[in-house]
Chains A and B, each alone.
Chain A
Amino acid sequence: MSELPTTAVTADLAEPSRRGRGTAAFVLRTLGGGLVSVGLIVVLGFFLFRVLPGDPVRTMTRDRPGNPEQLARLRAEFGLDRPLPAQFVDYLADMARGDLGTSYVYSRPVTEIILGRLGPTVLLTGTALVVSVALGLWLGSRAAWRHGSVFDRVATGTALVLWSVPTFWLGLIALMVFAVGLDLFPTGGMTSPGGVDGFVPAVLDVAHHLVLPCLTMVAVVYAQYLMVMRSSLLEEMAADYLTTARAKGLREDLVRRRHAVPNALLPTITIIFLHVGLVVAGAVTVETVFSWPGLGLLTYQALAVPDIPLLQGTLITLSVAVVLMNVLADLGYRLVDPRVRAS
């Protein structure tokens, strides 16, 4: 199932002699593709919230009947009494200035609220991603190298079961066992109430709060990296260069680490970046379960109201972030893998 980015390959086939220009064209095309995606997200953000529901004001005031004057005032306040094209122009102009509207729960600019919540989410998903990738690649390469062995079957079996587990449920169980039952970790939040003095104790305090949400995310996410790495390495294993490496007397361990794994790694890395969206989605439920003060918890809190401008803001922020990661992965892949760069 591992698909290489076909655009990169065709770019090389088209201009084999002028490598420099091929690379420039590739970079431009990738960036252009990313820009088109960002544009689509912006349009999607507008239409989802303004066209689909029919009457956004009714969506805003769901479950809370208001009188006609109130509804009319709300409509004017959000510019909804203006024709749709005019609204779209306003929306684009605001977006260009970095204005994502005003949350009507917090009565503050959505951009400001989101920026404040960005740090915790980056910390949680970043840590979880690094740990999952390391764990998945390591277990996956070992499983493939000795495929069919007990280790392989236990590792893939465990991964398969954990992959079937809803992230939020695993979080609830971890919360009940390790935070409430055994009292080893805090039950929620990112810092202890009241705070701690000094830089090192503060860092340790955050780390203490980070353990459970992070491990919950890792448990569910690492499985796919394991599976991808395993099948990628299995495909490499029949290759002649491994026979050559063995024939020149290299230890089995070195054949794996120096020859097979690096070659299997590159297709795996693209898939890792392609699946960043899944990690982001996992953050929504994990942050909800552990009251981790990031974008996921913000999304959950905006859902209950529902706070439409805030939801629209988080949708756009999360989607643009994921698109950005993919563009970077495409570019990085091209720089790192000589097989794609030049034939």
Chain B
Amino acid sequence: MTAAIAWRRRRLAAGRFARAYLAQPPGVVGAAVLLLVLLVALAAPLVVPPEHLSVVDATGGVLVPPSAEFPLGTDENGLSVLALTLTGTRISLLVGVAATVLSVVIGTVVGMVAAHFGGWLSAVLLRLTDFFLVLPSLVLAIVLSTVLERGVLTIIVAIGVTAWPSTARLVRAQTLTIEARPFIERAQVLGGGHLHVLGRHVLPAVLPLVLASTTLAVGSAIVAESTLSFLGLGDPTTVSWGGMLKSALDSGAITAGAWWYLLPPGLAIVVVVLGFTLVGRALEIVVNPTLQARR
């Protein structure tokens, strides 16, 4: 009986959320863009056969302008830029999402623990958060990916480990306001332990706001990934947009005026990041009503 009531309430809440979200045109556009990008990432291996990415089997000339056979021209190895760009979608989405999940998990745990327990633990965690917030995170990520074994996992760790402080700040502030409410005291009086209070009461209340900021963070993680790959820290065996742009710079595509090699990977990054930014901002407005009035 109570379960049915809970489900009904959840369905109603979901409906309200969907209506509020659909009232944000930029958010709807962003969501559509992201859906399309996700389809491209999933379909890339079907559309682009592996031999189209192999330097040995390359059929095109060096840095050939767009033609019927190569709609976006070729790179310095004679590979199709279109095929490379489509394939690069996979690594960008993977690293962007995985690094953000890692940073959000670290940030949420640190923020909740700092707010819930207080005392010296809180002081130490806050000091650490401020420290990482101030550090130039890209420089730290560069160093981390130099020191660790080169590969996709390293890039994810390097970005995730440097990007958590802003989430921690947000979660801590939110946890403090939630824990000031009477129902937390009631739960504690009834015998709820730290884990119960944090997991059952604080986390569900903090989660919507975290979700919105998470979506925004994916965009910066994707830019960070492309930057690290551009600096030559990516996995040389996987195709990525940043890696393509590095090859473009190294192979003299700029002096050759090979705009077809520069534009596709860069525009792809912009479109994906913009998609996440639009969705994130729309989510933020929906879950945080004070922003609605201010807009």
- Residues of A in contact with B (beta carbons under 8 Å apart): 3, 33, 36-37, 40-41, 48-49, 52-53, 59, 160-161, 163-169, 172-173, 175-176, 180-181, 187, 231, 234-235, 274, 277-278, 280-281, 284-285, 288-289, 299-300, 303-304, 306, 311-312, 314-315, 318-319, 322-323, 326
- Residues of B in contact with A (beta carbons under 8 Å apart): 127, 130-131, 133-140, 142-144, 146-148, 169, 173, 219, 223, 226-227, 230-233, 242, 245, 248-249, 254-255, 257, 259, 262-263, 265-266, 269-270, 273-274, 277, 294
Q: Name the residue of chain A whose CB is nearest to the CB of B281.
A: A160
Q: Would you list the 10 A-B pairs with minimal beta carbon distance, nearest first?
A: A281-B138, A277-B136, A169-B266, A164-B273, A164-B274, A280-B136, A176-B254, A281-B136, A53-B147, A166-B223
- B230 engages A173 (CB within 8 Å): no
- A277 engages B227 (CB within 8 Å): no
23 contacts between A and B (CB under 8 A): A3-B169, A52-B148, A59-B146, A163-B277, A164-B270, A167-B227, A168-B227, A169-B269, A172-B245, A175-B254, A176-B257, A231-B294, A234-B294, A277-B137, A278-B138, A280-B136, A284-B138, A285-B227, A288-B230, A299-B139, A303-B231, A311-B146, A322-B135
Distance between A119 CB and nearest chain B CB, rounded to angstroms: 19
* A300 and B242 alpha carbons, distance in the complex (Å): 15
* A160 and B270 alpha carbons, distance in the complex (Å): 10
Task: List A contacts of B294 (CB < 8 A).
Answer: 231, 234-235
The SS class assigned to the A binding surface is: helix
* A303 and B232 alpha carbons, distance in the complex (Å): 8
Task: List B contacts of A285 (CB < 8 A).
Answer: 227, 230-231
Task: List A contacts of B232 (CB < 8 A).
Answer: 303-304
Distance between A99 CB and nearest chain B CB, rounded to angstroms: 20
Q: Name the residue of chain B whose CB is nearest to the CB of A300.
A: B231
* A306 and B146 alpha carbons, distance in the complex (Å): 7
Task: List A contacts of B269 (CB < 8 A).
Answer: 164-166, 169
- B142 engages A284 (CB within 8 Å): yes
- B257 engages A180 (CB within 8 Å): yes
Q: Name the residue of chain A whose CB is nearest to the CB of B173.
A: A3
Task: List A contacts of B263 (CB < 8 A).
Answer: 173
